Structure formats: C-alpha cells, structure tokens
A and B are shown apart, each in its own frame.
Chain A
Amino acid sequence: MSTAMAEQADTDTVQVRDRADKARQVKLVSLYALVALMLLFFALSIDDGNVRYLLSSGTEPGEVDGKPLTWAAFAVVVGALVLAVLNRVPKGGAGVAIHLLVGLAFFLGFMFWVYSDQAGGNSIIMQNPLPGTIRLATPLVLGALAGVLCERAGVINIAIEGQMLMGAFFASVASSLAYSAEMGLVGGILAGVAMGALLAVFAIRYLVNQVVLGVVLIALATALTSFFLSQIPNDPEIKGYLNEPLVLPRIDIPVLSEIPVIGQALFSQSILVYLTYLSVVLVTWLLFQTKWGLRVRSVGEHPKAADTVGIKVNRVRWQAVLLGGVLAGLAGSYFTIGSTGAFDNGASAGNGFIALAAVIMGRWHPVFASLSALFFGLMWTLQSQLQFLDKIPGELLRASPYLATIVAVAGFVGRVRPPAADGEPYVKS
C-alpha cells in the first residue's frame, strides 16, 4: 500500500525508480511503522511515568514524568513515518539525522517504559549508559580498527582474539615487572605486534590460507597464554612480579570532563580510552587522507595494479598488519591493566570475535566499524543495567545484543563487499 501511495506522489515529478529503491522505501516504512507501534505500546502501558534518573555520578538524581515524553517520541516517529510513506526522506546528511532521531526517540521511549511503574518506594534509578558503553566498547573499537587496517591491505585478520589474549597477558606481565601501568601498555603493544608479525610472516611470506591462519593463531595464543600462566608459580612473592599488574589510573581532562551528561563518560577515563579516540581519528585519516593509506587500499583492492605503479605490495601489507598489531595489543591490554588487573585464562572472553563482526558490519570502514563496536558496548551496558528490572526476562536481555546483530545484519546490512583482494597473497610474477 505504501508503495502505491509513493508512486502516486511521484507521478507529477517524472522520476525513474528502480526496484531496489522501492524495496528500500518499503523496508524503511515498515521499520518506522514497527518503531511507532512499539512506542505507542510503551506510551499506553505506562501508568505511573515518574522516573528518577542520574546523568552523572556525584549529583542528586532528578525526577521526570516519562509519559508525555514517550508520547512526544511517538509523535516524532510518526512524523518520520509520514515522510517515509511520501518518499520524502532526504538523502545524505539530513536523512541520517532523521534515522538518528528515530533511533533516539525509540531509545528514550523504551527506557521510560522499562523504568516506569516500579513497585515500592525503593525505585531503581535510571543511570547514564554512556560511561559503561565507552568502557566496554574500548577493546572492541581498537580490535575492529586493527581488523579494518589489516583487511584493507588485503590480509584477513581473524586472529584479533588471539592478539588480544597475548596483549592482555604481556600487558599484565610488563606492568607487574616494571611496577608501572604505562609500561604495561608497552608490553601489550609488543605482544600484539609480535602476533601481527606472525600473521604477516605466514600470510605474506609463506602464503598460508589466511582464514586457517587466523583460527590457528587464536588456538596458539589461547594455548600459549594458559601454558605461561600455569608456569607462573603460586608463590606470592614471585607472582607479585609477574601477574599482579597496576591498573591504569583514571585521568580527568580539565574543562572537558566538566561538561554535563557526557563529560564524565567521555573525558574521565583511562589513557587507553583516549588512545582509542585518537586511534579512530588516526586510522581514518591514515587510510583516506594520506599517500600511505591510498597505497594500503590499493594493495587490498588490486595488488597487481599497485605493483605496476611501483608500490611494494608486500611491504605495505607488512606495515598495515604490524600497525594493526599495535592496536590489537592495546585492545588486549584493556582486559588486564585497563580493567580488572591480573590475567586469567580466556581474559578476552570472545571480544575478538565481536570485533570481527564489527569489522564486517561496519563494511571495512574504520568509522562505521567503530560505531558497530559502540553499538555492542551500549547493548552490553543496557543489559547489565536493566537486569534488575522485571520488565524484560533476563534470558531475553542476555540474548538481545546477539539477536539485534543478526536482525541488523540480515535486515539492513545485507551483502557486504570486502576489499577485492582480501585474503589473496601476492606473488610477484
């Protein structure tokens, strides 16, 4: 029906629309309609909309009536739905802004619904999800950037998980040995680079199938770290030198950390988080604004052509993989010196696989991959915050990040196009 209406609207301005364009509109209309319906349900089912919220720690919790705000969110989404039905959703920046607005409206309505109608006087306060999101997303963003860098250069990197594990272990050891958290970062980076070098040697020099290689490197890192860990004696005196690291301190950035709502979340974190911000900018700039980045992308897309114009294909690939190793090693150090301290078996807990998924979801683009990683961070944070409320069953909550990813990938990302020469070793003939 919606397509028919859209066609009607288009008859006076002669416009040629192909089937893919129409399918896109149908998809958008049904998505917005679904969001509007859910918001309607939220707004109708709220009885007592009073919600207490806390946006930054150290302040008094505020109180707000969520019911009218949920209705407002509903109105916004209905507006967007009308635009979509009329096929008047603009392309480019304005269109993205509308998508974001709908997303934000849904998020707010959902949060008000979850936190409203709490029985008893001791109501649970709505917390700002940003600090947790940033914390949990840090290793994912770094890992995803490492993956993007390698794969843009045409080397498949499934071994992010393995690089993270080694980074985590050696960050802990280095920090314990040097009695300094910052030296831990150096240890983590070195371990990540070493794993990167192993990846490069076997993939570039010995032409090993890179999917195989990645899986094997993960197995090797898992085995080696647990072997090393079992070699550290339980004697507290020796253990103190090897696996009792100092944790990176929190650094407040002056002025910026005072910004309400987002200040504490973004600018009162450890140095690792600031390095992550820097890495996103750096990798994006390197890949898309520098000569080196052009070379990296060209050896990932068409190594033969790159070679023809005099680019040393394998040298550029080595550089990209090693730089990726730096980032993955940093990502790994988060799991020891960036959060809990001592290394334990399987410290990275599957984060490397999630980072890999973020690379593919973000279509091998550093910014989009980072956004996908942030999405996982947000979902995990919400999951831990909402588990004390009885609106959603705990098991569904636990499954929701993964379910959401499947829906997002199957429904909206669809077929993705990797760098053309991803996974193909280059042999100069």
Chain B
Amino acid sequence: MTETIAHPPESAGPGNKPVPPAESSRGPVTWLPTLVETLAAIVIALVLGALLVALSDPDTVETLPYLFSYPADFFSAAFDAVWSSYSALVQGSVGSWNRISTTLERSAPLICAGLGVSLAFRAGLFNIGAQGQMAVGFLVAGFIGFTYDLPPGLHTLVALAGGILGGALWGGIAGFLKARTGAHEVITTIMLNYLAVSILLYALGKEAFQREGSDNRQSPPVADSATFGSVADTHLGVLLAFAAAVGVWWLLERSTIGFEMRAVGANPEASRTAGMNVAKVFTLAMVVAGALAGLAGTMQVLGDQASISPTLAGTIGFDAITVALLGRATPLGTVLAGLLFGALSVGGVAMQASAGTPKELAAVLQALIVLFVAAPALVRGLTRQRATGGGSTVMAKGWGG
C-alpha cells in the first residue's frame, strides 16, 4: 500500500518546472510533521476505502456468512478485491507516460482553480465561486478561439488573456461588493455561480456559439491556431499551471500586496489600523483568484479543444475548494493536492474498467483523505504520533463579518 501513497507526488516528476518551496521560511524541520500527518491521513483513507471495496465485492460478501469458521477465505477474497482495485488505480493514473500525461492534464485545471481558492483563503475570503469564474473564463476564451482568425501563438495569447480577464472580472464582482457594501462573499459567489450558468446557457443558445449541425447546446472547438500546443502528448497548459503556482507563491510570500493579503486574512481590523486599504485588498484578492480560476477554465477549451457545454466545468470548481484545503492553502500544497486528485480521478475510471470497482470510490477516497488531513488531532490519536506544534496556515476560520 505504500506504493499507492508514494506515487501521486512523484507524478510531478520529469519534464516539469521545479515546484517552489512554499515553506522556505519555516524550513524542513517544522514542515515534516505535517507531511507525515498527510501521509498517515492518506493511509487511513485508503484503509477505509479498502473496507468499502471489500464489502462491495460479491466474492468477498459470499465468504461473510462463514467468516468465523474460515476467516482465511474472507481475507484472501478481500485482499484480491482490494489489490486488484488499488493496483488498477495506480496503473491507470501513473502506470505509463500516456497515463501520467492524462493525469497531468486532468490536474492542471484543478491546480489553477485550487490556487485561486487558496489565495482567497489567505486573504480571509471563502471563494466558493471558482465554478462560475471558470465558466466565464472558458466562455470568453472559447469565443475568441473559434470566432477570430489570428496567427498561431498570438491567437492563443489573446484567447488566454480573454479567459483570464473573464474570470478576473467575475471574481472581482464578488470582491468589489464585499469591499464596498460588505455583502458576504459566500452568498455572492454562490449566486454568481448560478448567474454564470445562466449566461452560459444564454450564449450557447445564440448562433455565434452554436456548433454547425448540432442540436445540442455546445460550441464548436477552438481553431487549431488557438490551442496551447503540446509536447509528448501533454498540452503546455500544464506548464502554465505550475508557472501560476510559482507566481502565486511569489505574490504571497515576496510582494507587498501579498503581505497585505496575508495580514488582512489574519486580522482585518489590525491591518486597517496599520494603514492598509482592506477594501482594496479584498477586491484585488478576488480579482486574482478569479483570474486563476479563469486560467483553469481555458485549460479544457484551449488544451483539449473541448467544445463549450453547460457541463464542461464538471465539478472542478468545487473540487478546487477541497484541493486548496488539502494543500493547506499554500501554493506547493495546492500543486501536490491537485496532482493527487487528478491521479485519483483518472485512476478511478481505470479502476472501474479493469477491476469493476465503481469509480465513485475515487471520490470517496478524495473526501476521506481531506477529512483526515483536516483533523490532525484524530490522525495523531489513531497513529500514536507525538503532538507537534506548527504546520497550520491562516485560513478563513469564520464568517469574518
């Protein structure tokens, strides 16, 4: 089982930019315990998942009635079921370069949107709106991508910029309303998600967005000149995701506005007293968060050349929240969590295909992992680790008012 744990972080491996050391100021000594806790949480989640696999396997269930007379039967059947499921999960997500590339492409939007949620968290804002910001992002990027005729490269840049600006605008509305009127960002971002869906449906009903010869509400794919281009079957949007992580790290840890964001997130009143413009920080944080979600939205249309449809975003915007939380709202953590979630969801499909275990199990595993990561006290209790201080990040703890 240790294999399963070791793999996902490794998939950051060859061919990618180095991931920034987010916690450089704290050094490896204080960072390590949280890593151990995270791994322990993953192990516990996998054990619980194994229980579910065993109990959903018909061969194993057959052995249950005589569990006490022939326990060996039960354990071998359960072991077979769990082993085949989990090895299919690992094989399907990181088993070959082809699978790794799929995992990377699946992770890229999760990482970008997760970075957006993380950044907002650090400024004390709970951004549930990644879903809507993504939708606006891919709507704009897609429209530019399939409507205009521009030289390759330039076309990609314009579409990319459009997508990012669209997301930034959508996020900025929530930030602006929070700053000006105090409207709670949880309400406004939820409502903006629904509004984005309305806009999406409205646009897809128009002729300019309609794919020729299709009755469904879907757009044509973007022109080839607007795609990211790919190296070794992996589109270069993946690199953008890692670059965005470096950018967010720099913004949060090295820039003045990032310092202000963290200060406002830690204590808005004290920051105001210290002379910071809290309203500006809220607005800017949401603009940047929205821009990152918009970038996530461009991945599918400019990377995979997928056509825009109401279900294109899937649940990425909501998964981004869990990714950000699993990554403890740090850029490095978000990247690793995004890779893990990408691997789990790609592997989940393979698991269903080859081992017959429902792919929903991957989603259960994702939720359990985050649950246990979020509860270090429980994990320490279960694994009898010594209690250690540190490792906590300032995040939105309450409604903030």
CB within 8 Å of B: which residues of A?
156, 202, 206-213, 215-220, 222-224, 226-227, 230-231, 350, 353-354, 356-357, 360-361, 395, 398-399, 401-403, 405-406, 409-411, 413-418, 422-424
> Is the Cβ of A216 less than 8 Å from the Cβ of B367?
yes
Determine the distance from Cα of A336 to Cα of B304 in the docked complex, in whole angstroms.
37
Taking a contact as CB atoms closer than 8 A, the residue among A213, A217, A402, A406 that contacts B183 in the complex is A406
CB of B20 within 8 Å of the partner chain: no
Inter-chain contacts of B370 with A (CB < 8 A): 212, 216, 219
Within 8 A of A (CB), among B360-387: 360-361, 363-364, 366-368, 370-371, 374-375, 377-378
Determine the distance from Cα of A220 to Cα of B371 in the docked complex, in whole angstroms.
9
Inter-chain contacts of B186 with A (CB < 8 A): 356-357, 360
Tell me the dominant secondary structure on chain A's binding face: helix
Inter-chain contacts of A403 with B (CB < 8 A): 191, 195
Inter-chain contacts of A417 with B (CB < 8 A): 401
Inter-chain contacts of B94 with A (CB < 8 A): none
Inter-chain contacts of A211 with B (CB < 8 A): 126, 395-398
How far apart are A373's CB and chain B's nearest CB, in angstroms? 13
How far apart are A183's CB and chain B's nearest CB, in angstroms? 24
Taking a contact as CB atoms closer than 8 A, the residue among B318, B322, B374 that contacts A209 in the complex is B374
CB within 8 Å of A: which residues of B?
52, 56, 126, 128, 177, 180-184, 186-188, 190-192, 194-195, 198-199, 201-202, 205, 318-319, 321-322, 325, 358, 360-361, 363-364, 366-368, 370-371, 374-375, 377-378, 395-399, 401
Taking a contact as CB atoms closer than 8 A, the residue among B184, B322, B396 that contacts A409 in the complex is B184
> Is the Cβ of B325 less than 8 Å from the Cβ of A215?
yes
Instruction: Among A156, A406, A416, find the residue whose CB has the most chain B CB atoms closer than 10 A.
Output: A406
> Is the Cβ of B198 less than 8 Å from the Cβ of A202?
no
For the A-B complex with A402-B198, A410-B183 known, give 15 more contacts whose Cβ atoms are closer than 8 Å: A202-B375, A211-B395, A211-B396, A216-B325, A216-B370, A223-B367, A227-B52, A227-B360, A356-B190, A357-B186, A406-B191, A406-B195, A414-B181, A418-B399, A423-B397
Inter-chain contacts of B195 with A (CB < 8 A): 399, 402-403, 406
Sort A-B residue pairs by CB-CB distance and give the 8 closest, nearest first. A415-B182, A423-B398, A223-B363, A220-B367, A399-B198, A395-B202, A227-B360, A418-B399
How far apart are B270's CB and chain A's nearest CB, in angstroms? 17
How far apart are B49's CB and chain A's nearest CB, in angstroms? 10
Determine the distance from Cα of A390 to Cα of B33 in the docked complex, in whole angstroms.
63
> Is the Cβ of B364 less than 8 Å from the Cβ of A220?
yes
How far apart are B352's CB and chain A's nearest CB, in angstroms? 9
> Is the Cβ of A398 less than 8 Å from the Cβ of B201?
yes
Determine the distance from Cα of A211 to Cα of B401 in the docked complex, in whole angstroms.
14
Instruction: Among A215, A217, A230, A356, find the residue whose CB has the most chain B CB atoms closer than 10 A.
Output: A215
> Is the Cβ of B198 less than 8 Å from the Cβ of A395?
yes
> Is the Cβ of A410 less than 8 Å from the Cβ of B371?
no
Determine the distance from Cα of A208 to Cα of B378 in the docked complex, in whole angstroms.
9
Tell me the dominant secondary structure on chain B's binding face: helix
> Is the Cβ of A224 less than 8 Å from the Cβ of B364?
yes
Residue of A nearest to B393 (CB): A209
> Is the Cβ of A156 less than 8 Å from the Cβ of B398?
yes
Instruction: Among B56, B187, B198, B367, find the residue whose CB has the most chain A CB atoms closer than 10 A.
Output: B187
> Is the Cβ of B395 less than 8 Å from the Cβ of A227?
no
Inter-chain contacts of A202 with B (CB < 8 A): 371, 374-375, 378
Inter-chain contacts of B397 with A (CB < 8 A): 209-211, 423-424
Taking a contact as CB atoms closer than 8 A, the residue among A218, A357, A415 that contacts B191 in the complex is A357
Instruction: Among B191, B192, B366, B397, find the residue whose CB has the most chain A CB atoms closer than 10 A.
Output: B191
How far apart are A412's CB and chain B's nearest CB, in angstroms? 9
Inter-chain contacts of A422 with B (CB < 8 A): 398-399
How far apart are B220's CB and chain A's nearest CB, in angstroms? 21
Inter-chain contacts of B180 with A (CB < 8 A): 410
Instruction: Offer 14 A-B interface pairs, CB within 8 angstroms, sorted by A.
Output: A216-B322, A219-B322, A222-B367, A223-B360, A223-B367, A227-B363, A350-B194, A356-B190, A361-B187, A395-B198, A395-B201, A395-B202, A410-B188, A422-B398
Residue of B nearest to A415 (CB): B182
> Is the Cβ of B183 less than 8 Å from the Cβ of A409?
yes
> Is the Cβ of B177 less than 8 Å from the Cβ of A410?
yes
Instruction: Among B318, B374, B378, find the residue whose CB has the most chain A CB atoms closer than 10 A.
Output: B374
Inter-chain contacts of B205 with A (CB < 8 A): 395
Residue of B nearest to A154 (CB): B398
How far apart are A168's CB and chain B's nearest CB, in angstroms? 16
Inter-chain contacts of A231 with B (CB < 8 A): 56, 358
Determine the distance from Cα of A222 to Cα of B360 in the docked complex, in whole angstroms.
9
> Is the Cβ of A411 less than 8 Å from the Cβ of B358?
no
Residue of B nearest to A226 (CB): B360
Residue of B nearest to A414 (CB): B182
Taking a contact as CB atoms closer than 8 A, the residue among B128, B188, B399 that contacts A353 in the complex is B128
Determine the distance from Cα of A403 to Cα of B188 in the docked complex, in whole angstroms.
9
> Is the Cβ of A156 less than 8 Å from the Cβ of B399?
yes
> Is the Cβ of A409 less than 8 Å from the Cβ of B363?
no
How far apart are A162's CB and chain B's nearest CB, in angstroms? 10
Taking a contact as CB atoms closer than 8 A, the residue among A209, A219, A356, A405 that contacts B366 in the complex is A219
Residue of B nearest to A201 (CB): B378
Instruction: Among A361, A402, A417, A418, find the residue whose CB has the most chain B CB atoms closer than 10 A.
Output: A402
Determine the distance from Cα of A211 to Cα of B366 in the docked complex, in whole angstroms.
17
Inter-chain contacts of A361 with B (CB < 8 A): 187
Determine the distance from Cα of A422 to Cα of B186 in the docked complex, in whole angstroms.
15
Residue of A nearest to B202 (CB): A395
> Is the Cβ of B398 less than 8 Å from the Cβ of A360?
no
Determine the distance from Cα of A405 to Cα of B177 in the docked complex, in whole angstroms.
13
How far apart are A343's CB and chain B's nearest CB, in angstroms? 14
Residue of B nearest to A409 (CB): B183
> Is the Cβ of B191 less than 8 Å from the Cβ of A405?
yes
Inter-chain contacts of A402 with B (CB < 8 A): 191-192, 194-195, 198
